[in-house]
Amino acid sequence: MRLSLEKKVISGFGFMLLLLCLIGGAVYQSTTQLVRANRSVKHTLMVLEKLEDVASHLKDAETGQRGYLLTGKVAYLGPYRDATAVLGQEIEALQQLTVGNSAQQRRLNALEPLVVSKLAELDQTIDLRKKAGFEAALQVVLTDRGRLLMDQIRVLINEMREEEKRSLEHYSAAAAARAQFLIGGVALGTLSAFTLTPLAIFVINQEATQRLRAEKARLESEQRFRRLSEATFEAVAISEQGRVLDTNRSFAELFGYEPAQEIGMSAVEFVVPECREGVRQKVALGEENPYETVCLRKDGTTFPAEIRGKMLRSQEHMVRVTAFRDITERKQAEEKLRTYAANLEKVNQELEQFNYIAAHDLKTPLRTIATRMEMLPKQLGPLSGQAQHQMSRILLAVRHMDRLLSDLLAYSRVGTRTELPVFTDSNAIVQHALDNFLNQIQTSGAIIQVEPNLPTVLADPNQVAQVLQNLISNSIKFCRVTPQIRVSATCSQDECTFCVADNGIGIAAGHEQRIFGIFKRLHSQEEYEGTGIGLAIVKRIIEWHGGRTWVESEVDKGSKFFFTLWRADNAGGTGTTDRNLASGRQLR
Amino acid sequence: MQGGQGQLIEILLVDDNLDDVEFIQLAFYEARVTNRIHHAADGEAAIAFLQDPSTPRPDLILCDLHMPKMDGSEVLQVIKHDESLKTIPIIMLTSTGVEQELQIYKNYTNCYSLMKPVSFGNFIQVLVQIETLWLQIVS
């Protein structure tokens, strides 16, 4: 978890404060206890002093008594009187000092009568000495009562002294411990303060530096973005929840605003009202693909635009960066292209119509000429050989012209009004082509061999049948022996190469390309009749299918005509023939 | 050509090209087919003929495609949308063969197309084809 600086500072200082409070509390506590311990020590010392006083005064009193008893001099009674005068007070003082200590009180209570008795004994002996003389007093002393009392007193005082000494030791030790603790506490507090403060300063400094660096980086990135957006030709706007946050100079220029004037405006205000709903939906769906719309300038003029928007995260906000591009020129170019294409289409249609009408209208008179030329000999009666020759030459010319017109028409129609290529079984196409000119095949006696299991291809069946028909009829035509023709196909992954091979006259080297050109012929009409359009049609049809045509040939040996078509059964491999496909299933 | 009861059938030939009309009539003659052939010079005349109660209802219509005013495909449309006429078989005659590719013929029943030949001999062949077609239709 990452804490903010404020939290870090507060918790850090809080911790330090707590630590200081704890240390302060402990020090206060210890100091109080130390003071109390010191007071107890002082008190004990006072008790001991008083005990010493009592013992000392008793001794003084006894010494005074003895001196007097021995000498009879009144001077010895001075210390005795002094001592007895204070003893009572001292015992009372001791009683007050030991209030709360029951053991000492008990001993004091025992001590007091003993002291009274001792003083009474002293007083008695002094009185006897004074009145009855030394001997009488000695008799009393010799009873040892005074000594015994004194012994008892000494024992009690010693006990009390011992007790007080024990207390003294206890309190002294406690005071020493407290003092030790106090020193430790203060040292710990100081140490903590000395350690934590630099640590806190370090952490705060670190954090502040990081912040400064991040802020600097952010500013730099912002500046970089701004420079970038200023440098780009595209108008760029940044919006958040449909409101413009920022734009670049190009944007202001494109929409005719003063820089920064558009900030805060609703983003859809830059689009004409009728397009706003659509744009809103695209923005709501987060559309990132470019789309076209119509934009609105400040002065109310409009222009077609391409818009591309993208949602981006910026400092925990989602903003939309949108680029606008004026596509007026593109639109105009598109429109121009459309018009051009439409015109071209129209011209094409007109040309096609022209071809058709021309062929039709040219054929009609030809038919009349041919038919009437045929009928004429009947009306004329028998004709000379020369006249018959003329007539037959005219008829030949007319029929040739008719064929030319048909072929030209067929050539011009390749790729104009054809079906789209479909999956086509080429076995069926070959069969269809052969059926179309069965008569010619039978007349020529040609042997036509078709390889079984030809592939399925993408083709317009009628057109490809036309190709095969043209190639096979060429093979039959350009042959001096019995034509032997073989139709085969080989397939690669994508395309199939068909081959129509014959045993005909072949084509001289160097003419392989020429023969596919329109009206290009290698022989005269007298040698081999033809229009020179058949192979041109083949080439045009195959090229329309996206294929290629070529020929391999050897003069007097034969020719191999090749053409390629897109393969349609490459999933099944060569040789599979699906009869359903032969019916021509539409591809699209 | 004969109908079901052995009568000769009525044929309506619609063509503006008088040469072709002549050839077809001659071909019928040469082939010794003696059916009654009615001629209409264009589409409008053909429709008028078909709608005239005083004229016989043809059993077969031969119709050229290219004609002034109303062309062959329009004639076809009118006939095939007329309840009383749509059962009459029609053979469309074309000059170029291109029309054969047009879908229009495939949309109608009893509608065929034949290419006009370039020689008279072939006209007679065409007549044979017409007869074959006719036999197909009546059977």
What does the pLDDT read at residue A471? 93
Strands A549-554 and A558-566: antiparallel
State whether residue A363 sits within 8 Å of chain B by CB: yes
Neighbours of A196 (CB within 10 A): 16
Task: Among A363, A368, A402, select the one facing B19 at the smallest CB separation.
Answer: A368
Q: If you count DSSP H runs as helices and E runs as strands, how many of each does chain A have, helices first?
A: 14, 13
- C-beta separation of A563 from A498 below 8 A: yes
Do B96 and A399 lie within an 8 Å CB cutoff?
no
Return the closest-CA partner of residue A587 out of A418, A415, A422.
Answer: A422
pLDDT in tens, A516-569: 887 777 777 777 777 788 899 999 999 988 899 999 998 888 999 999 999 987
What does the pLDDT read at residue A588? 30
Q: Which amino acid type is present at position A564?
A: T
Is the pLDDT at A571 greater than 60? The verdict is no
What is the spatial distance between Cα A136 and Cα A127, in angstroms, rounded to a whole number?
10
pLDDT in tens, A136-172: 888 888 888 888 888 888 888 888 888 888 888 888 8
Task: Among B26, B95, B119, select the one facing A370 at the smallest CB separation.
Answer: B119
Distance of CA A152 to the CA centre of its chain: 99
pLDDT band at A577, cuts 50/70/90?
very low
pLDDT in tens, A294-342: 999 999 999 999 999 888 887 677 888 888 989 999 999 999 999 999 9
What does the pLDDT read at residue A488? 93
What is the spatial distance between Cα B43 and Cα B24, in angstroms, rounded to a whole number?
18
What is the spatial distance between Cα A406 and Cα A149, in angstroms, rounded to a whole number?
171
Of chain A, the percentage scoring pLDDT greater than 90 comes to: 15
State whether residue B95 sits within 8 Å of chain A by CB: yes
What is the spatial distance between Cα A167 and Cα B21, in angstroms, rounded to a whole number?
160
Question: In A, residues 378-407, which contact B (CB 8 Å cutoff)?
Answer: 395, 398-399, 402, 405-406
- DSSP category for residue A416: T
What is the spatial distance between Cα B58 and Cα B13, in angstroms, rounded to a whole number?
10
Least confident stretch, A83-87, A139-143, A354-358, B38-42: A354-358
- φ/ψ of A223, rounded to 5, equals -65, -40
CB hemisphere CA count around A117 (13 angstroms): 14
Is the pLDDT at A390 greater than 60? The verdict is yes
What does the pLDDT read at residue A573? 42
What does the pLDDT read at residue A207? 82
Residues A437-462 have a mean pLDDT of 88
State whether residue B116 sits within 8 Å of chain A by CB: yes
State the smallest CA–CA distance between residue B74 and chain A in angstroms. 17
Contacts 24+ apart (CB under 8 A), A211-216: A211/A5
What does the pLDDT read at residue A574? 41
Q: How many cross-chain Cβ pairs, A to B, lie less than 8 Å apart?
A: 52
3 state SS of A264: coil
What does the pLDDT read at residue A572? 44
Is the pLDDT at A190 greater than 50? The verdict is yes
What does the pLDDT read at residue A2? 56
Do A406 and B96 lie within an 8 Å CB cutoff?
yes
Q: What is the ipTM of this complex?
A: 0.73
Is the pLDDT at A104 greater than 60? The verdict is yes
Which chain A residues are closer than 8 Å to B17 by Cβ?
Answer: 364, 368
B2 or A491, greater pLDDT: A491
Residues A262-275 have a mean pLDDT of 88
State whether residue A356 sits within 8 Å of chain B by CB: yes
- C-beta separation of A481 from A548 below 8 A: no
User: Which of B99, B119, B124 should be substituted to probe chain A, the one whose Cβ sees the most A Cβ atoms within 10 Å?
Assistant: B119
State whether residue A352 sits within 8 Å of chain B by CB: no
Query: Alpha helix (H) ranges present in A72-132?
Result: 77-97, 102-131
CB hemisphere CA count around A23 (13 angstroms): 17
Is the pLDDT at A250 greater than 80? The verdict is yes
Q: Which amino acid type is present at position B82?
A: D
A83 or A563, greater pLDDT: A563
Contacts 24+ apart (CB under 8 A), B51-58: B56/B10, B57/B10, B57/B88, B58/B10, B58/B11, B58/B12, B58/B88
Q: Which amino acid type is present at position A83?
A: A
What is the spatial distance between Cα A85 and Cα A80, in angstroms, rounded to a whole number?
8
What is the spatial distance between Cα B122 and Cα A216, in angstroms, rounded to a whole number?
98
Q: Which amino acid type is present at position A548?
A: R
pLDDT in tens, A199-228: 878 888 888 888 889 888 888 877 887 777
- φ/ψ of A73, rounded to 5, equals -85, 135
Least confident stretch, A122-131, A564-573, A576-585: A576-585
Residues A241-250 have a mean pLDDT of 85
Least confident stretch, A261-265, A422-426, A477-481: A261-265
State the smallest CA–CA distance between residue B55 and chain A in angstroms. 30
Least confident stretch, A320-324, A369-373, A475-479, B66-70: B66-70
The tokens for A320 are 């939309």
The tokens for A515 are 């023969």
Strands A549-554 and A484-491: unpaired
What does the pLDDT read at residue B101? 52
pLDDT band at A1, cuts 50/70/90?
very low
A9 or A401, greater pLDDT: A401
What is the spatial distance between Cα A134 and Cα A70, in angstroms, rounded to a whole number?
7
User: Which of A354, A364, A407 should be substituted to probe chain B, the one whose Cβ sees the most B Cβ atoms within 10 Å?
Assistant: A364
What does the pLDDT read at residue A487? 94
pLDDT in tens, A19-74: 778 888 888 888 888 888 888 888 888 888 888 888 888 888 888 888 888 888 88
Strands A456-459 and A422-425: antiparallel
What does the pLDDT read at residue B6? 56
Do B118 and A356 lie within an 8 Å CB cutoff?
no
Question: 10-residue block means of pLDDT along chain B (139 residues)?
Answer: 66 89 84 82 90 89 85 87 88 73 67 76 77 74
3 state SS of A297: coil
